Amino acid sequence: MSNVIGIIRALNSGVKHLAIKRFTLRYPEQKLKFVGDGFQFNPETGVGIAGLRGRHILFHEHCTGCQLCSVACEGIAEAISMVKIHETWKHNKKAIMPQIDYGKCVFCGLCVDACPFYALYMTNDYELSSFTKSALIYTPAQLAIKPNIAQDVEIKIDDRGASHG
């Protein structure tokens, strides 16, 4: 019986996708433009807000150095290390913040869910390739920079998935 339900679901999904307009993206001349913000955590509803899981953004003014993001990542990819920062924040007495290794990160978003201070979100930045492994390691200062993304083809991600105009 479960096999039959599985086949019906697969067919249903296939039929739904027949109506989706196809396009070919001439990357890197053309790039995807994600409408709206990346994946975030909504403190009001207690669940994540749909969005692209690209490179993170770290809000230093909110980060307490609690390390919960790092703990969340431990069993997943061990991509987060807590490192010393040269800034003084009253709310971050240990002066430590997360550094993320994008050579290890699997973009699961669990660190964003785990952050109790809404200091860590994800952005629409998906162009992270590099010639060296060390350039994939983003320090707290690099993570604080809002990505500047110039892109062409608009893609919207919401609770129903991704769609384009």
Identity of the residue, 68 or 153, whose beta carbon is nearer to ligand SF4 in the bound complex: 68
Answer for which of 111, 137, 143, 157 binds ligand SF4 (CB under 6 A) is 111
79 part of the interface to ligand SF4, by CB under 6 A: yes
Contacts with 38 (C-beta within 8 Å, 6 or more apart), sequence order: 51, 52, 53, 54, 57, 121, 122, 123, 124, 125
Stretch (H or E) spanning 9: helix 2-18
**DSSP 3-state assignment of 85?**
coil
CB of 89 to ligand SF4, least distance (A): 10
Dist. CA 64–CA 30, nearest whole Å: 39
CB of 85 to ligand SF4, least distance (A): 11
**DSSP 3-state assignment of 18?**
helix
77 part of the interface to ligand SF4, by CB under 6 A: yes
Binding mask 30-69 for ligand SF4 (x = CB under 6 A): ---------------------------------xxxxxxx
